[in-house]
């Protein structure tokens, strides 16, 4: 979440008046995240998240994102549903941007995940994969190989401003992934952004997943690879094999991984590390003046990518073939 488009109190009040949601008491911008503008809106009834979709989001993708969230709620998944206005409309417009009101999901994200948090995440992710299997829309992953190639071209010339040798590393890794990316693994709908700030807990129990705005149809195990990167490294950069094992065990309780998926995990982890390295690098090199947004350091994912490049066996992730 972030704030690029600034909305006045009068504009928010007029927007909220089209919903049966009560009278606005307060609102504030949310700085975390990188993609869209988000406000926490408090009415005399309850809290909501108001999201304005920025230029990096293709408006044609919004029915997929919002429809998927609605579908998952009706399938019993723990997530926040979009709210319909008095005319039954979910996707609207505010300040020249597509906008939607999302129910507030109680809970808090955690900054220091423990092995049990990872186990719960793996289990809930597999449930989400299963629940989304009969969703009737599809969306290609815009940040897979083709998207990485575009970002490499955009960043490679200035990459060494961030770290010496980074430009050459990007070209070498891109060449490897182009020739080794798995082609025949099970696919379906994935979240594609399950970082700790998109997973809520209450009293140690997982209460929900949020922010489906990178969701797409792709390799199911790629979602696991994203989570291994986001949840299983310690602040000092060390990989926590116990967290990794517990995450995959939780997932496998609902949907066991095949031998091919396990064997491909290091390649999927390399792809996930490169994906977030590139998006962070692009944002770092192209900061938006005046935006209320936290720009994340790409250096963290340089180190993670180097770790995965050195992995020789799934056992290094706590797994066995």
The three-point CA angle 125-131-133 to 5° equals 105
Give all strands (DSSP E) within the chain, no chain letters. 24-29, 37-43, 47-52, 92-94, 97-103, 187-190, 199-202, 205-209, 216-219
Distance, CA of 205 to CA of 101 (rounded, Å): 26
The residue among 69, 98, 93, 68 whose CA lies nearest residue 81 is: 69
Measured between alpha carbons, how far is 258 from 319 in angstroms, rounded to an integer? Answer: 12
Report the C-alpha gap between 30 and 27 in whole angstroms: 10
**pLDDT tens for residues 151-163?**
999 999 999 999 9
Mean of all residue pLDDT scores within the chain: 93
CA–CA separation, 163 and 305 (whole Å): 14
What's the DSSP call for residue 315?
G
Measured distance CA(51)–CA(160) in Å, rounded: 35
Domains and CATH numbers, the chain: 9-103 (3.30.200.20), 115-317 (3.90.1200.10)
Question: Rounded to two decimals, what is the model's pTM?
Answer: 0.91
Within 10 A of 1 (CB to CB), how many other CB atoms are there? 23
Q: What pLDDT is stored for residue 241 in this prediction?
A: 97
Largest CA distance in the chain: 59
pLDDT, mean of residues 91-115: 95
* 35-92 tens-digit pLDDT: 788 999 999 999 999 999 987 788 999 999 999 999 999 999 999 999 999 999 999 9
Name the residue with higher pLDDT: 54 or 127: 127
The secondary element (H helix, E strand) that includes residue 283 is: helix 265-285
122-150 mean pLDDT: 97
Q: What is the C-alpha to C-alpha distance for residues 106 and 108, in angstroms, rounded to an integer?
A: 7
Find where tokens 């897979």 sit. Answer: 144
Predicted pLDDT of residue 8: 93
pLDDT of residue 4: 72
Residue 145 has pLDDT above 90, yes or no: yes
- Going across the sheet that includes 37-43, the strands are 24-29, 37-43, 47-52, 97-103, 92-94
From 64-68, 154-158, 202-206, 293-297, the region with the lowest mean pLDDT: 293-297
Q: Contact 282/156 with Cβ under 8 angstroms?
A: no
183 secondary structure, DSSP code: S
């Amino acid at each position: 979440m972030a704030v690029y488009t600034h909305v006045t109190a009068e504009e928010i009040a007029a927007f909220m008046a089209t919903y049966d949601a009560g009278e606005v008491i307060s609102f504030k911008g949310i700085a975390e995240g990188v993609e869209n503008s988000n406000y926490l809106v408090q009415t005399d009834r309850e809290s909501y998240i108001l999201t304005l979709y920025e230029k990096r989001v293709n408006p044609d993708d919004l029915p997929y994102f919002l429809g998927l969230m609605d579908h998952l709620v009706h399938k019993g998944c723990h997530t926040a549903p979009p709210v319909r206005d008095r005319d039954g409309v979910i996707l609207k417009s505010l300040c020249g941007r597509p906008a939607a009101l999302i129910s507030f999901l109680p809970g808090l994200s955690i900054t220091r995940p423990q092995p049990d948090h990872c186990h719960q995440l793996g289990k809930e992710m597999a449930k989400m994969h299963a629940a989304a299997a009969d969703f009737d829309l599809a969306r290609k992953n815009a940040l897979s190989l083709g998207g990485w190639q575009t970002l490499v071209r955009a960043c490679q010339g200035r990459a060494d401003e961030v770290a010496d040798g980074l430009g050459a590393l990007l070209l070498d890794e891109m060449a490897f992934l182009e020739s080794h990316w798995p082609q025949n693994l099970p696919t379906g709908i994935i979240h594609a952004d399950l970082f700790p700030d998109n997973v809520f807990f209450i009293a140690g129990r997982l209460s929900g997943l949020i922010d489906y705005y990178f969701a797409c149809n792709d390799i199911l195990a790629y979602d696991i690879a994203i989570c291994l990167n986001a949840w299983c490294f310690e602040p000092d950069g060390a990989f926590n094999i116990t967290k990794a094992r517990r995450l995959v065990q939780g997932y496998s309780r609902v949907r066991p991984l095949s031998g091919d998926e396990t064997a491909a995990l290091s390649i999927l982890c390399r792809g996930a590390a490169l994906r977030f390295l590139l998006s962070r690098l692009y944002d770092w090199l192209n900061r938006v003046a005046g935006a209320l947004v936290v720009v994340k350091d790409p250096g963290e994912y340089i180190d993670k990518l180097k770790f995965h490049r050195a992995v020789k066996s799934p056992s290094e992730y706590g797994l066995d073939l």
